[in-house]
């Protein structure tokens, strides 16, 4: 019975001590008002990567014929184009499907297959695509910023975004009648992108005998942004 009484007394003492410590810690927490704010930094980056889509279309009354023709032309171009290492070559969409008449009867088969040429060497990709456009006409050309260039731009934007956040925090603190601020927490936001290049389009028709050595394409720019958001304590006037 005595052991139980002592255990209860010790537990109660520990509980009181814990409450006192927690109250003491809470008194240490700053009671300054807080302010939520955010800041952004922007930069223009040249789109250094091109992706060219080449597409073959075949049609026949027999499914096997369409499949064979697509396989032959795409395999030939794919194997030849992969002999070089400057342009990344890969296959993409492929399908063979039936076409029906008004009664639901299959009257023919149509199929399409695509290859993608992607590279940061835009002239090389342009020349390679022009070489095969009599076999695989150009379906689309798009530009983008490479991962390396984007990472470099974002690294530079971090300093600009941090400075913008600090300037806004100080300006807001002074405007509200406080002497300054103290950082409470901060969050780094993902980057955004605004494309500034017209979309390139090509008619998917067979090229003439006079095939150009390269395509008349040029990249544009892309606006990359980085944001910082968080909260700060507003310091009292001294």
- Of the residues 143, 162, 192, the one at which a domain ends: 143
pLDDT of 146 reads 92
DSSP H or E run through 142: strand 138-144
How far apart CA 89 and CA 204 sit, in angstroms, is 20
- Of the residues 83, 118, 143, the one at which a domain ends: 143
> What does each C-alpha distance from 11 to 3, 19, 21 come to in angstroms?
12, 12, 15
How far apart CA 171 and CA 39 sit, in angstroms, is 13
For the entire predicted model, the pTM comes to 0.69
Split the chain (238 residues) into runs of 10 and give each run's mean pLDDT: 43 44 51 89 92 95 95 95 95 93 93 96 94 93 93 91 93 91 87 53 45 73 90 84
- Of the residues 93, 112, 143, the one at which a domain ends: 143
Which of these, 111, 116, 114, lies nearest to 68 by C-alpha position? 111
Do 129 and 166 sit in the same domain of this protein? no
> What does each C-alpha distance from 128 to 43, 77, 190 come to in angstroms?
32, 10, 35
pLDDT of 218 reads 79
Decide if 47 contacts 224 (C-beta within 8 A).
Answer: no
How far apart CA 64 and CA 58 sit, in angstroms, is 11
How far apart CA 153 and CA 189 sit, in angstroms, is 15
* Residue ranges making up the domain that contains 96: 50-143
Do 154 and 104 sit in the same domain of this protein? no
Do 237 and 132 sit in the same domain of this protein? no
Q: Give 88's contacts (C-beta < 8 A, 6+ positions apart).
A: 116, 117, 118, 119
Q: The domain that contains 89 carries what CATH number? A: 3.30.70.2970
pLDDT of 14 reads 43
pLDDT of 11 reads 43
pLDDT of 28 reads 54
pLDDT of 214 reads 73
Domain for residue 156, yes or no? Answer: yes
pLDDT of 123 reads 93
């Amino acid at each position: 019975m005595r052991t139980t009484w002592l255990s209860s007394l010790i537990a109660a003492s520990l509980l009181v001590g814990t409450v006192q410590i927690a109250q003491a810690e809470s008194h240490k927490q700053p009671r300054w008002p807080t302010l939520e704010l955010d800041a952004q930094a922007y930069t223009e980056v040249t789109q250094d990567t091109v992706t060219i889509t080449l597409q073959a279309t075949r049609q026949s009354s027999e499914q096997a014929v369409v499949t064979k023709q697509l396989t032959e032309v795409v395999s030939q171009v794919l194997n030849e184009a992969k002999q070089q290492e400057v342009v990344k070559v890969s296959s993409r969409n492929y399908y063979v499907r039936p076409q029906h008449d008004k009664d639901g009867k299959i009257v023919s088969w149509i199929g399409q297959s695509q290859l993608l040429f992607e590279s940061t060497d835009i002239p090389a990709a342009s020349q390679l695509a022009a070489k095969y456009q009599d076999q695989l006409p150009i379906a689309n050309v798009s530009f983008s910023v490479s991962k390396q260039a984007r990472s470099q731009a974002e690294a530079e934007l971090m300093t600009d975004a941090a400075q913008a956040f600090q300037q806004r925090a100080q300006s807001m603190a002074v405007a509200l009648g406080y002497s300054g601020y103290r950082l409470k927490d901060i969050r780094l936001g993902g980057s955004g992108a605004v494309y500034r290049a017209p979309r390139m389009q090509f008619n998917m028709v067979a090229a003439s005998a006079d095939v150009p050595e390269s395509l008349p394409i040029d990249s544009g720019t892309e606006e990359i942004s980085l944001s910082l958001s968080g909260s700060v304590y507003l310091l009292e006037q001294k």
